[in-house]
Structure 1
Amino acid sequence: MKLFLPGLLFTIVWLAISGSFTIPNLVFGIVVAALSLSMVRHQWSESSTYWRRVPAILFLALLFLKELALSAWTVARLVLTPKMELKPGIFAYPLKLDTDFEITLLANLITLTPGTLSVDVSEDRSKLYVHALDCSDVEATKRSIADGFERRIMEAFRK
Protein backbone atom coordinates (compact mmCIF):
# COMPACT_ATOMS: atom_id res chain seq x y z
CA MET A 1 0.00 0.00 0.00
CA LYS A 2 2.99 2.31 0.58
CA LEU A 3 3.73 2.33 -3.12
CA PHE A 4 0.19 3.21 -4.19
CA LEU A 5 0.75 6.99 -4.31
CA PRO A 6 4.05 6.81 -6.23
CA GLY A 7 2.45 4.26 -8.58
CA LEU A 8 -0.49 6.55 -9.15
CA LEU A 9 1.87 9.46 -9.75
CA PHE A 10 3.96 7.45 -12.24
CA THR A 11 0.81 6.40 -14.08
CA ILE A 12 -0.47 9.99 -14.29
CA VAL A 13 2.92 11.20 -15.54
CA TRP A 14 2.90 8.42 -18.15
CA LEU A 15 -0.56 9.43 -19.36
CA ALA A 16 0.47 13.09 -19.52
CA ILE A 17 3.69 12.39 -21.39
CA SER A 18 2.17 9.93 -23.84
CA GLY A 19 -0.86 12.14 -24.45
CA SER A 20 -3.08 9.08 -24.83
CA PHE A 21 -5.85 8.64 -22.28
CA THR A 22 -7.17 5.31 -23.53
CA ILE A 23 -7.88 2.27 -21.36
CA PRO A 24 -5.04 0.19 -22.93
CA ASN A 25 -2.57 3.04 -22.35
CA LEU A 26 -3.81 3.41 -18.75
CA VAL A 27 -3.30 -0.32 -18.15
CA PHE A 28 0.14 -0.11 -19.76
CA GLY A 29 1.03 2.84 -17.51
CA ILE A 30 -0.09 0.93 -14.41
CA VAL A 31 1.96 -2.13 -15.41
CA VAL A 32 5.07 -0.06 -16.13
CA ALA A 33 4.64 1.87 -12.86
CA ALA A 34 4.27 -1.39 -10.92
CA LEU A 35 7.36 -2.89 -12.56
CA SER A 36 9.36 0.29 -11.99
CA LEU A 37 8.39 0.47 -8.34
CA SER A 38 9.12 -3.22 -7.81
CA MET A 39 12.71 -2.52 -8.89
CA VAL A 40 13.13 0.30 -6.37
CA ARG A 41 10.93 -0.91 -3.53
CA HIS A 42 13.96 -0.96 -1.20
CA GLN A 43 13.89 2.85 -1.37
CA TRP A 44 10.62 2.72 0.62
CA SER A 45 11.74 0.09 3.10
CA GLU A 46 11.29 2.31 6.15
CA SER A 47 7.67 3.33 6.62
CA SER A 48 8.69 6.24 8.86
CA THR A 49 10.30 8.02 5.94
CA TYR A 50 7.55 7.22 3.44
CA TRP A 51 5.17 10.03 4.38
CA ARG A 52 8.04 12.51 4.58
CA ARG A 53 8.97 11.63 1.03
CA VAL A 54 5.50 12.07 -0.49
CA PRO A 55 5.60 15.91 -0.62
CA ALA A 56 9.18 15.82 -1.94
CA ILE A 57 8.18 13.37 -4.70
CA LEU A 58 5.21 15.59 -5.59
CA PHE A 59 7.50 18.65 -5.73
CA LEU A 60 9.86 16.70 -8.02
CA ALA A 61 6.94 15.80 -10.30
CA LEU A 62 5.76 19.41 -10.38
CA LEU A 63 9.29 20.59 -11.14
CA PHE A 64 9.47 18.12 -14.01
CA LEU A 65 6.16 19.34 -15.45
CA LYS A 66 7.32 22.96 -15.14
CA GLU A 67 10.68 22.22 -16.79
CA LEU A 68 8.91 20.20 -19.49
CA ALA A 69 6.67 23.14 -20.37
CA LEU A 70 9.45 25.74 -20.19
CA SER A 71 11.92 23.75 -22.25
CA ALA A 72 9.27 22.81 -24.84
CA TRP A 73 8.50 26.52 -25.21
CA THR A 74 12.19 27.38 -25.48
CA VAL A 75 12.85 24.69 -28.10
CA ALA A 76 9.79 25.75 -30.12
CA ARG A 77 10.94 29.37 -30.00
CA LEU A 78 14.47 28.39 -31.09
CA VAL A 79 13.21 26.27 -33.96
CA LEU A 80 10.83 28.95 -35.21
CA THR A 81 13.45 31.70 -35.13
CA PRO A 82 14.41 32.58 -38.72
CA LYS A 83 18.12 32.65 -37.95
CA MET A 84 18.84 29.77 -35.60
CA GLU A 85 22.02 30.54 -33.71
CA LEU A 86 22.35 27.31 -31.81
CA LYS A 87 25.48 25.92 -30.24
CA PRO A 88 24.69 22.23 -29.76
CA GLY A 89 27.18 20.22 -27.78
CA ILE A 90 27.92 17.70 -25.07
CA PHE A 91 29.05 18.64 -21.59
CA ALA A 92 30.02 16.68 -18.48
CA TYR A 93 27.73 17.27 -15.54
CA PRO A 94 29.39 16.50 -12.16
CA LEU A 95 27.07 14.22 -10.17
CA LYS A 96 26.31 14.54 -6.47
CA LEU A 97 23.97 11.54 -6.74
CA ASP A 98 25.51 8.15 -6.10
CA THR A 99 22.93 5.37 -6.32
CA ASP A 100 21.95 3.73 -9.59
CA PHE A 101 18.31 4.68 -9.00
CA GLU A 102 19.09 8.37 -8.44
CA ILE A 103 21.44 8.63 -11.42
CA THR A 104 18.99 6.82 -13.68
CA LEU A 105 16.12 9.04 -12.55
CA LEU A 106 18.17 12.20 -13.20
CA ALA A 107 19.27 10.92 -16.61
CA ASN A 108 15.68 10.12 -17.56
CA LEU A 109 14.33 13.46 -16.37
CA ILE A 110 16.99 15.24 -18.42
CA THR A 111 16.25 13.10 -21.48
CA LEU A 112 12.50 13.65 -21.20
CA THR A 113 13.03 17.41 -21.16
CA PRO A 114 13.06 18.82 -24.73
CA GLY A 115 16.42 20.13 -25.88
CA THR A 116 18.53 17.86 -23.69
CA LEU A 117 19.57 14.23 -23.83
CA SER A 118 21.55 12.14 -21.36
CA VAL A 119 24.26 10.40 -23.35
CA ASP A 120 26.38 8.43 -20.90
CA VAL A 121 27.61 8.09 -17.33
CA SER A 122 31.33 8.00 -16.60
CA GLU A 123 32.82 4.69 -15.44
CA ASP A 124 33.37 6.05 -11.93
CA ARG A 125 29.77 7.42 -11.88
CA SER A 126 30.98 10.93 -11.10
CA LYS A 127 29.83 12.56 -14.34
CA LEU A 128 26.75 12.47 -16.53
CA TYR A 129 27.34 13.42 -20.15
CA VAL A 130 24.49 15.54 -21.50
CA HIS A 131 23.83 16.69 -25.06
CA ALA A 132 22.12 20.06 -25.21
CA LEU A 133 20.56 21.78 -28.18
CA ASP A 134 22.13 25.03 -27.04
CA CYS A 135 25.38 24.99 -25.07
CA SER A 136 25.96 28.73 -25.18
CA ASP A 137 25.88 28.88 -21.35
CA VAL A 138 26.91 25.46 -20.02
CA GLU A 139 27.47 26.71 -16.46
CA ALA A 140 23.91 28.04 -16.26
CA THR A 141 22.60 24.71 -17.52
CA LYS A 142 24.67 22.84 -14.92
CA ARG A 143 23.37 25.14 -12.16
CA SER A 144 19.82 24.60 -13.36
CA ILE A 145 20.22 20.81 -13.14
CA ALA A 146 21.93 21.00 -9.73
CA ASP A 147 19.41 23.40 -8.21
CA GLY A 148 16.46 21.70 -9.85
CA PHE A 149 16.28 18.00 -10.62
CA GLU A 150 19.32 16.86 -8.65
CA ARG A 151 18.38 18.72 -5.46
CA ARG A 152 14.75 17.50 -5.65
CA ILE A 153 15.87 13.90 -6.24
CA MET A 154 18.09 14.06 -3.14
CA GLU A 155 15.24 15.51 -1.09
CA ALA A 156 12.82 12.85 -2.27
CA PHE A 157 14.94 9.71 -2.11
CA ARG A 158 17.56 10.16 0.58
CA LYS A 159 16.88 9.42 4.22
Structure 2
Amino acid sequence: MKAFGWNMLLALAWVVLSGSYTISNLFAGMLMSYIVLAYALRDRPLFGAYFGKLPKLLNFILFFIWDLIKANARVAYDVLTPTHLMKPAVIAVPLDIQSDGGITMFSSLITVTPGSLALDVSTDKKVLYVHMMYFEDEQLHIAEFKRLEAMIIDLLG
Protein backbone atom coordinates (compact mmCIF):
# COMPACT_ATOMS: atom_id res chain seq x y z
CA MET A 1 0.00 0.00 0.00
CA LYS A 2 1.32 3.43 -0.85
CA ALA A 3 2.02 6.08 1.77
CA PHE A 4 -1.17 8.01 0.99
CA GLY A 5 -3.22 4.85 1.48
CA TRP A 6 -1.58 4.23 4.84
CA ASN A 7 -2.16 7.85 5.77
CA MET A 8 -5.87 7.61 4.95
CA LEU A 9 -6.21 4.21 6.66
CA LEU A 10 -4.67 5.54 9.88
CA ALA A 11 -6.79 8.71 9.69
CA LEU A 12 -9.97 6.68 9.28
CA ALA A 13 -8.90 4.44 12.18
CA TRP A 14 -8.45 7.61 14.25
CA VAL A 15 -11.96 8.78 13.37
CA VAL A 16 -13.51 5.42 14.23
CA LEU A 17 -11.60 4.99 17.49
CA SER A 18 -12.26 8.56 18.63
CA GLY A 19 -15.98 8.24 17.86
CA SER A 20 -16.24 11.75 16.43
CA TYR A 21 -17.24 11.55 12.77
CA THR A 22 -16.47 15.11 11.66
CA ILE A 23 -14.37 16.57 8.87
CA SER A 24 -12.18 18.41 11.38
CA ASN A 25 -11.49 15.16 13.24
CA LEU A 26 -10.64 13.42 9.96
CA PHE A 27 -8.27 16.29 9.10
CA ALA A 28 -6.65 16.03 12.54
CA GLY A 29 -6.26 12.27 12.04
CA MET A 30 -4.69 12.83 8.63
CA LEU A 31 -2.24 15.33 10.07
CA MET A 32 -1.28 13.10 12.99
CA SER A 33 -0.92 10.01 10.82
CA TYR A 34 1.16 12.00 8.32
CA ILE A 35 3.57 12.98 11.11
CA VAL A 36 3.72 9.42 12.47
CA LEU A 37 4.31 7.91 9.02
CA ALA A 38 6.92 10.53 8.13
CA TYR A 39 8.85 9.59 11.24
CA ALA A 40 8.30 5.82 10.99
CA LEU A 41 9.13 5.56 7.28
CA ARG A 42 11.91 8.15 7.14
CA ASP A 43 14.50 5.59 5.97
CA ARG A 44 12.41 4.09 3.18
CA PRO A 45 13.23 5.65 -0.21
CA LEU A 46 9.85 4.66 -1.68
CA PHE A 47 7.97 6.91 0.71
CA GLY A 48 10.30 9.93 0.50
CA ALA A 49 8.49 11.37 -2.51
CA TYR A 50 5.15 11.37 -0.70
CA PHE A 51 6.45 13.15 2.37
CA GLY A 52 8.33 15.70 0.27
CA LYS A 53 5.16 16.77 -1.55
CA LEU A 54 3.41 18.44 1.41
CA PRO A 55 5.95 21.29 1.76
CA LYS A 56 5.87 21.75 -2.03
CA LEU A 57 2.08 21.80 -2.03
CA LEU A 58 1.94 24.35 0.79
CA ASN A 59 4.52 26.52 -0.99
CA PHE A 60 2.50 26.31 -4.20
CA ILE A 61 -0.77 27.20 -2.45
CA LEU A 62 0.78 30.21 -0.72
CA PHE A 63 2.44 31.36 -3.95
CA PHE A 64 -0.80 31.08 -5.91
CA ILE A 65 -2.87 32.83 -3.23
CA TRP A 66 -0.38 35.72 -3.17
CA ASP A 67 -0.47 35.89 -6.99
CA LEU A 68 -4.28 35.88 -6.88
CA ILE A 69 -4.36 38.69 -4.31
CA LYS A 70 -2.00 40.82 -6.42
CA ALA A 71 -4.05 40.27 -9.58
CA ASN A 72 -7.33 41.05 -7.81
CA ALA A 73 -5.88 44.22 -6.30
CA ARG A 74 -4.69 45.37 -9.71
CA VAL A 75 -8.05 44.80 -11.38
CA ALA A 76 -9.92 46.40 -8.44
CA TYR A 77 -7.66 49.45 -8.59
CA ASP A 78 -8.29 49.81 -12.31
CA VAL A 79 -12.05 49.53 -11.81
CA LEU A 80 -12.14 52.04 -8.96
CA THR A 81 -9.94 54.73 -10.52
CA PRO A 82 -11.12 57.01 -13.32
CA THR A 83 -8.17 56.22 -15.61
CA HIS A 84 -7.91 52.87 -17.33
CA LEU A 85 -4.51 51.23 -17.17
CA MET A 86 -5.38 48.30 -19.41
CA LYS A 87 -3.03 47.40 -22.25
CA PRO A 88 -4.41 44.13 -23.63
CA ALA A 89 -2.18 41.74 -25.54
CA VAL A 90 -1.86 38.09 -26.42
CA ILE A 91 1.45 36.42 -25.62
CA ALA A 92 2.84 33.00 -26.46
CA VAL A 93 4.15 31.11 -23.44
CA PRO A 94 6.45 28.18 -24.29
CA LEU A 95 5.43 25.02 -22.45
CA ASP A 96 7.67 22.56 -20.64
CA ILE A 97 4.76 20.53 -19.26
CA GLN A 98 4.28 17.36 -21.30
CA SER A 99 1.08 15.84 -19.91
CA ASP A 100 -2.42 16.89 -20.89
CA GLY A 101 -3.44 17.03 -17.23
CA GLY A 102 -0.52 19.31 -16.41
CA ILE A 103 -1.33 21.63 -19.31
CA THR A 104 -4.98 21.71 -18.24
CA MET A 105 -4.03 22.52 -14.65
CA PHE A 106 -1.61 25.24 -15.77
CA SER A 107 -4.08 26.87 -18.14
CA SER A 108 -6.87 26.67 -15.55
CA LEU A 109 -4.74 28.39 -12.92
CA ILE A 110 -3.88 31.13 -15.42
CA THR A 111 -7.55 31.57 -16.28
CA VAL A 112 -8.80 31.88 -12.69
CA THR A 113 -6.30 34.68 -12.07
CA PRO A 114 -7.95 38.04 -12.89
CA GLY A 115 -6.37 39.84 -15.80
CA SER A 116 -5.22 36.76 -17.71
CA LEU A 117 -6.96 34.14 -19.80
CA ALA A 118 -5.54 31.01 -21.40
CA LEU A 119 -6.82 31.02 -24.96
CA ASP A 120 -5.37 28.05 -26.80
CA VAL A 121 -2.62 25.45 -26.88
CA SER A 122 -0.68 24.89 -30.08
CA THR A 123 -1.27 21.58 -31.85
CA ASP A 124 2.20 20.33 -30.90
CA LYS A 125 1.57 21.28 -27.22
CA LYS A 126 4.67 23.47 -27.09
CA VAL A 127 3.01 26.91 -26.75
CA LEU A 128 0.13 28.27 -24.67
CA TYR A 129 -1.47 31.48 -25.90
CA VAL A 130 -2.50 33.79 -23.06
CA HIS A 131 -4.52 37.01 -23.21
CA MET A 132 -3.18 39.62 -20.78
CA MET A 133 -5.29 42.55 -19.64
CA TYR A 134 -2.27 44.43 -18.29
CA PHE A 135 0.60 43.90 -20.69
CA GLU A 136 3.92 45.44 -19.71
CA ASP A 137 6.86 43.32 -20.75
CA GLU A 138 6.50 39.99 -22.53
CA GLN A 139 9.61 38.47 -20.95
CA LEU A 140 8.44 39.50 -17.47
CA HIS A 141 5.05 37.86 -17.96
CA ILE A 142 6.60 34.73 -19.45
CA ALA A 143 8.98 34.49 -16.48
CA GLU A 144 6.04 34.69 -14.05
CA PHE A 145 4.17 31.98 -15.96
CA LYS A 146 7.29 29.80 -16.14
CA ARG A 147 7.65 30.03 -12.36
CA LEU A 148 4.07 28.81 -11.94
CA GLU A 149 4.69 26.08 -14.52
CA ALA A 150 7.84 24.92 -12.72
CA MET A 151 5.92 24.59 -9.47
CA ILE A 152 3.23 22.53 -11.21
CA ILE A 153 5.85 20.27 -12.81
CA ASP A 154 7.48 19.82 -9.41
CA LEU A 155 4.15 18.89 -7.82
CA LEU A 156 3.12 16.48 -10.57
CA GLY A 157 6.54 14.90 -11.03
Question: Where does structure 1 differ by over 3 angstroms across 4 or more consecutive aligned residues?
Answer: none
Where does residue 74 of structure 2 map in the other structure? 74
The two structures, once aligned, show a CA RMSD in angstroms of: 2.2
Unaligned runs of 5+ in 2: 9-22, 24-45
For this pair of structures, how many residues does the alignment match? 118
Residue by residue, what CA displacement relative to the aligned partner does 1:83-140 show, whole Å, maximum 9, x if unpaired? 2132112111111111112111111111111111111111000011111111232221
Question: What is the 5 A alignment of 1:34-113?
Answer: 47-113=47-113
Supply the distance in 2 between the matched residues of 1:113 and 1:47 (Cα, whole angstroms). Answer: 34
Tell me if the contact between 1:54 and 1:156 (Cα under 8 Å) persists in the aligned partners. no
Where does residue 152 of structure 2 map in the other structure? 153
Q: 1:2 aligns with which of 1, 4, 27?
A: 4
Supply the distance in 2 between the matched residues of 1:78 and 1:145 (Cα, whole angstroms). Answer: 22
Which is further off, 132-141 or 64-73?
Answer: 132-141
Q: State the shift of 1:81 in Å.
A: 2.5
Amino acid at match of 1:143: A
Tell me if the contact between 1:89 and 1:135 (Cα under 8 Å) persists in the aligned partners. yes
Q: State the shift of 1:47 in Å.
A: 4.6
Q: Percent identity?
A: 32
Amino acid at match of 1:81: T
Question: What is the 5 A alignment of 1:104-143?
Answer: 104-143=104-143
Amino acid at match of 1:58: L
Unaligned runs of 5+ in 1: 6-25, 27-45
Supply the distance in 2 between the matched residues of 1:87 and 1:102 (Cα, whole angstroms). Answer: 29
